[in-house]
Amino acid sequence: MSNITVCARFRPLSSKEKRDHGANICIQSVDSESFIIKDKKDEGFTFSFDKVFYEKSKQADVYEFLVLPIVQDSVNAIYGTIIAYGQTGAGKTYSMEGLNILESDEEKKGILPRVVDVLFACIRSSDESTKYSIKLSMVEIYMEKVRYVCVGDSDW
Ligand SMILES: Nc1ncnc2c1ncn2[C@@H]1O[C@H](COP(=O)(O)OP(=O)(O)OP(=O)(O)O)[C@@H](O)[C@H]1O
């Protein structure tokens, strides 16, 4: 795997989308790395990623494939970044936070609470002589402007 991993995730259609446009979608799964998008003329375009998470994918699937290796590296002082990219309503917040960041629904909790749980578990189980320093920054880039969503330390 390269230093950068790029995945695509599809969310289920909302009830409004189904009501307004029907349940048919223009995506056809090829395998766990590729899918075909069909345009209005029924012409297919194939897109490939390191991994495709289809609508039935679980938060844990995304975490284990994409995020866990970054968390494991970070415990060994290797920097990592996770970026969620997509149009409004695509599912960025759901993937990053879950249904509700303050709610501890084990199945639905997103990347952020999972990272925090595992990071502190790794530190707790490590050799007591090792000292860790953790810094977290979370930004939103919207209309090319960077907004700090989470500021915990004046260094950032
Ligand atoms: N994988 C998923 N499974 C179930 N529901 C999902 C999934 N992804 C997103 N949703 C739901 O779809 C809706 C839109 O998702 P979300 O708010 O995460 O989008 P967003 O990309 O963060 O949008 P915005 O950029 O406007 O903030 C929410 O109601 C969310 O709960």
ipTM: 0.98
The reply to whether ligand 1 has any atom less than 6 angstroms from the CB of 11 is yes
14/67 same-domain check: no
What is the reported pLDDT for 153? 53
In a domain, 144, yes or no: no
Tokens 């810094």 -> residue: 135
How many angstroms separate the CA atoms of 125 and 114, rounded?
17
For ligand 1, mutation pick of 15, 61, 93, 96 (most atoms within 8 Å of CB): 93
Number of domains in the chain: 2
User: Which residue, among 146, 73, 149, has the nearest Cα to 115 in the 3D structure?
Assistant: 73
Cα–ligand 1 centroid distance for 98 (angstroms): 9
Residue 21, domain extent: 1-55
The reply to whether ligand 1 has any atom less than 6 angstroms from the CB of 90 is yes
48/63 same-domain check: no
What is the reported pLDDT for 156? 42
In a domain, 101, yes or no: yes
The reply to whether ligand 1 has any atom less than 6 angstroms from the CB of 80 is no
Among 60-64, 111-115, 137-141, which stretch is predicted with the lowest mean pLDDT? 137-141
65/115 same-domain check: yes
67/122 same-domain check: yes
What is the reported pLDDT for 2? 67
Confidence of residue 154 (pLDDT cuts 50, 70, 90): very low
